[in-house]
Structure 1
Amino acid sequence: MSRATGTQEHRAVPRLGRSLSVVGLGTWQLGADWGRVDEEEALGVLRGAYAAGTTFFDTADVYGDGRSERLIGRFLRELGRDGAGAGAVCVATKAGRRGVQDPAQFTLGNLRAWTDRSRSNLGVDTLDLVQLHCPPTPVFSSAAVYDALDTLVEEGRIAAYGVSVETCEEALAAIARPHVATVQIILNVFRRRPLEEVLPAAAEAGVGVIARVPLASGLLSGRYRHDTVFAPDDHRAYNRHGESFDVGETFSGVGYANGVAAAAEFAALAPAGASPAQTALRWVLQQPGVTTVIPGARNVEQARANAAAAQLPPLPDGTLRALEALYDDRVRAEVHHRW
């Protein structure tokens, strides 16, 4: 079992009562919807990320219908047996997307059942952080839902709760609630609107910001071309127009042809010594108000390279201005008004 050998900056989340590594690990790809990753490869990614200093892991009950949670649960048991400090790891899961997307389904009974299933999958008595998983918009304004989550905290089933959102308006509604600890939102070089209101509001309220889809579903890695073929079970093949869930989750809502062209221009702006993916992560990390960024990884090398982005120096002003101009010229009209 690998012990943690790398170190990362950790940023405090006042409402969560703990600090998170600035580069976390998103584990959607370990469950489903990104092509098949076998169990040993998935565990290798978890071990590699931890060895590189990552202590924040994000999952959901719907990723592989619990497969991602169960893999993390096995990893946590390894840490416990190895004496490597499982208690220092923070695991965030999500709930609410395994059934019908109806606000009436978000009851105390259902939330209790959903979180109990996650507790079983992860093998823990208390979940570190539970996030509402991009539920119907009215849920974010429901006092009864937040009351139910408060009850789960009182019962010891969960330690804290947050939300994962599609839109800035949903994020602002959640931040206004007194016990919401974190907001997870898409934020990357091609999705900048959260910078305007969400990040300042979260910082003022003491709410952590978890930046997801930081590589625009891999576009910002610079690896993809117009003729790249994705596996049939990869959402980048089957959800390009929002056929299965919000299209903003796939390539950040940027049309693929435009995204590939814009990504090539982005890659040319990467500083010496940094890959395009690391440059994209570094950009997210230096936005005021961001707590952690959660890129996915399909192998150990990707996990280590992502974690290394935390050690890069801040991008210089000239690069930041060039990236803003790229967004304005290529992407803004396509995405800015939508989310």
Structure 2
Amino acid sequence: MQYRKLGKTGFSVSEISLGTWQVGGKWGEPFSHANADTILNAAVDGGINFIDTADVYGDGESEKAVGRLVRSRSEQIYVATKCGRQLQPHTSEAYTPAAMRGFVEESLRNMQLETLDLVQLHCPPTEVYYRPEIFEVFDQLKAEGKIQHLGVSVEKVEEGLKALEYPNVTTIQLIFNMFRQRPAELLFKEAQRRDVGLIVRVPLASGLLTGKFTADTSFAPDDHRNFNRQGEAFDKGETFSGVDYNTGLEAVEEIKQLFPDQPNLAPVALRWVLLFNEVSCVIPGASRPEQLASNLHAADLPALTPEQLQQVQAIYDRKIKPQVHQIW
């Protein structure tokens, strides 16, 4: 495992880390603490030292599992959680300093920890990025020892650029993958200039970039890949990176031809993300131990060749870019 600096947090984090949206079971399945414990411990055994969770994952159960892991291991494990998505309705007006404080304190109780390494605003409405009082409350929480650092999880490049204006923002979590390339144009450079860490989520485009899906693949009724394809429940870009499913399948088939010796495209897709030095870490999820093993395998792959990179770019430009590039 290789490690990279997480911006001005100073943390040295595993370049392949773990997101825990589905760590207790696949999307749509009830949370399994036994499954979560197996995957989380295997992740640490594999060299992962940065775990990303959120208070809404498994309705707090994911945070409990992550806290249990940290308390049971001797290794340095950095924990990042997120807050804000519990607000109903999820509007800018619902974001208040008191609400943010309450969420942080609830996360501390869930994880049974005294301080949180990183707390991220969880994809708030764009208007929130223009409200300094929401960002200021985290300075107070840091002074009280309840958190160490503040970050933001964003949907759009615009939101990331605005977040960079706040000195206490130390990290930005964003969607970036072969099917979502716009952040590399400007946001990456600005984040690097300000020493802000970049945490990449949805690196496999909700599984599309594993190369294992077909037109006949079915998803459970309560799996967001079934019910959120047009953004019915939350931002459309969180599901298949906003790419039309059938178009994505066509693009994946072309990408597969570039890597005929790789039966599983997932490690290649992760390796592609890690070619960008501005990226601090990538946080693919795993609902089974074998998925975690696949993710870890990315660290062993050679870098993509210049020709492969050019061809991936050409596929993006031709099939994907017209659909998504200017939206997020």
Q: What band does the TM-score fall into relative to the shorter chain?
A: over 0.9
- Residue 268 of structure 1 aligns to a residue whose secondary structure is helix
2:21 is matched with which residue?
Answer: 28
Given that residues 7 and 171 in structure 2 are in contact (C-alpha distance below 8 angstroms), is that contact kept between their aligned partners in structure 1?
Answer: no
For 1:283 and 1:23, locate their aligned partners in 2 and report how far apart those are by CA, in whole Å: 12
Candidates 121, 125, 142, aligned match of 1:136: 125
| Residue among 115, 125, 149 paired with 1:126 | 115
What amino acid does structure 2 have at the position aligned with 1:179?
N
8 Å contact from structure 2 (residues 7, 198) kept in 1:
no
Structure 1 partner of 2:71: 77
Match of 1:288 in 2: 277
1:242 partnered with 2:235: no
Question: Is residue 114 from structure 1 mapped to residue 103 from structure 2 by the alignment?
Answer: yes
For structure 2, the 5+ residue unaligned runs are: none
Q: Tell me how far 1:31 sits from its aligned partner.
A: 5.3
Partner Cα distance (1:176, 1:77) in 2: 35
Secondary structure at the counterpart of residue 30 of structure 1: coil
Q: Deviations over 1:226-285 (max 9, x none)?
A: 011101121001111111000000000001111111112222222635731000000000
2:4 & 2:310 partners in 1: Cα distance? 26
Q: In structure 1, list runs of 5 or more residues that go unmatched.
A: 1-7
Q: Say whether the 8 Å CA contact 2:26–2:287 is kept in structure 1.
A: no
| Corresponding letter in the other structure for 2:52 | D
Instruction: Report the secondary structure of 1:54's partner residue.
Output: coil
State which of 245, 253, 259 in structure 1 corresponds to 2:242: 253
Map 1:165-176 to 2 at 5 A: 165-176=154-165
The runs of at least 4 aligned residues of structure 1 exceeding 4 Å deviation read none
Separation of aligned partners in 1, 2:207 and 2:14: 21
Aligned partner of residue 98 in structure 1, secondary structure = coil
Structure-2 change in CA distance of 1:14 and 1:331 (3 Å):
closer
User: CA contact under 8 A between 1:31 and 1:66: conserved in structure 2?
Assistant: no
Q: Secondary structure at the match of 1:163?
A: strand
Contact 1:31 1:63 in 2 (8 A): no
Q: How well do the aligned residues superpose, as a CA RMSD in angstroms?
A: 1.4
Q: Distance in 1 between matches of 2:253 and 2:36?
A: 29
Question: Could you list the per-position Cα deviations for residues 120-172 of structure 1 after superposition, in whole angstroms to 9, with x for gaps in the alignment?
Answer: 11110100100000001011121111111111111111100100000000000
User: Could you say which residue in structure 1 is the equivalent of 2:174?
Assistant: 185
CA deviations over 1:8-30 (Å, ceiling 9, x no partner): 11111242121111001011013
User: Are 1:101 and 2:90 counterparts?
Assistant: yes
Q: Within 1, Cα distance between the matches of 2:260 and 2:48? A: 24
Question: How many percent of aligned residue pairs carry the same amino acid?
Answer: 46
Distance in 2 (CA, whole Å) between partners of 1:14 and 1:219 is: 29
CA distance in 1, matches of 2:114, 2:282: 26
- Conserved? CA contact 1:33–1:235, under 8 Å: no
Please name the residue that 2:5 is paired with: 12
- How much has 1:306 moved relative to structure 2? 0.5
One-letter code of the match for 2:110? N
Paired residues in the alignment total 326
TM-score by length of 1: 0.93
Paired residue type of 2:78? C
Partner of 1:164: 153
Aligned twin of 2:43: 49
- Aligned residue type for 2:82: K
Preserved contact between residue 107 and residue 148 of structure 1 (Cα < 8 Å) = no
Tell me, yes or no, if the aligned pair for 2:175 and 2:200 is still in contact at 8 Å: yes
Going from structure 1 to structure 2, the CA distance change for 1:145 and 1:74 (only over 3 Å counts) comes to same
Instruction: Give the CA deviation at 1:39.
Output: 2.2
Report the counterpart of residue 5 of structure 1 in structure 2: none
